[in-house]
Chain A
Amino acid sequence: MSVSVRIPTILRTYTEGAAEVSVEPADATLSGVLDALEALAPGIRARVLDDSGALRRFVNVYVADEDVRFTDGLATPVAAGAQVSIIPAVAGG
Chain B
Amino acid sequence: MTTTPVAPSSTPSVAPDAAPPVPDFGPATHLTCRECGQTYGLGAAYACAECFGPLEVGYDHSAVTRELIESGPANMWRYSCLLPVAAYAGDERNLNPGLTRLVRADNLARALGMTGPLWVKDDSGNPTHSFKDRVVAVAQSAARRLGLGTIACASTGNLANAVAAAAARAGQDSVVVIPSNLEDGKVLTTAAYGGILLAVDGTYDDVNRLCSELIGDPLTADWGFVNVNLRPYYAEGSKTVGYEIAEQLGWRLPQQVVAPIASGSLLTKVDKAWRELSALGLVEGSPYRVFGAQATGCSPVAQAFRAGHDVVRPVRPDTIAKSLAIGNPADGPYALDVVRRTGGVIEDVSDAEVVEGIRLLAETEGVFAETAGGVVVATLRKLLATGALDPAAETVILNTGDGLKTLDAISSHVGPTATIAHDVDEVTAAIAAHHARTGA
Mark A residues whose CB is within 8 Å of B.
6, 8-13, 19, 47-48, 50, 56-60, 62, 67, 69-70, 85, 87-93
CB distance from B335 to the nearest CB of A (A): 11
Cβ contact within 8 Å between A91 and B216: no
30 residue pairs from A and B, CB less than 8 Å apart: A10-B1, A10-B52, A19-B216, A47-B49, A47-B51, A57-B311, A58-B47, A58-B48, A58-B52, A67-B205, A67-B314, A85-B209, A87-B209, A87-B212, A87-B213, A88-B46, A88-B47, A89-B52, A90-B46, A90-B54, A90-B231, A90-B330, A91-B46, A91-B330, A92-B211, A92-B231, A93-B231, A93-B235, A93-B262, A93-B265
Cβ contact within 8 Å between B52 and A59: yes
Residues of A within 8 A of B273 (CB): none
> Complex formed: what's the CA distance from A11 to B217 in Å?
14
Name the CB-closest residue of A to B202. A65
Residues of A within 8 A of B213 (CB): 6, 85, 87
Docked complex: B41-73 residues within 8 A CB-CB of A:
46-55
With contacts A6-B213, A10-B1, A85-B213 known, is A93 near B331, CB below 8 A?
yes
Cβ contact within 8 Å between B314 and A70: yes
Name the CB-closest residue of B to A91. B228
Cβ 8 A contact of A56, one of B51, B205, B228, B262: B51
Docked complex: B312-330 residues within 8 A CB-CB of A:
313-314, 326, 328-330
CB distance from B318 to the nearest CB of A (A): 15
Query: B257 at the A/B interface (Cβ < 8 Å)?
Result: no
Residues of A within 8 A of B149 (CB): none
Residues of B within 8 A of A62 (CB): 209
Scoring B residues 278 to 317 as 1 if CB is less than 8 Å from chain A, else 0, what string do you get?
0000000000000000000000000000000001011000
Name the CB-closest residue of A to B55. A90
Query: B222 at the A/B interface (Cβ < 8 Å)?
Result: no
Cβ contact within 8 Å between A88 and B212: yes
Residues of B within 8 A of A85 (CB): 209, 213
Query: B94 at the A/B interface (Cβ < 8 Å)?
Result: no
Query: B215 at the A/B interface (Cβ < 8 Å)?
Result: yes
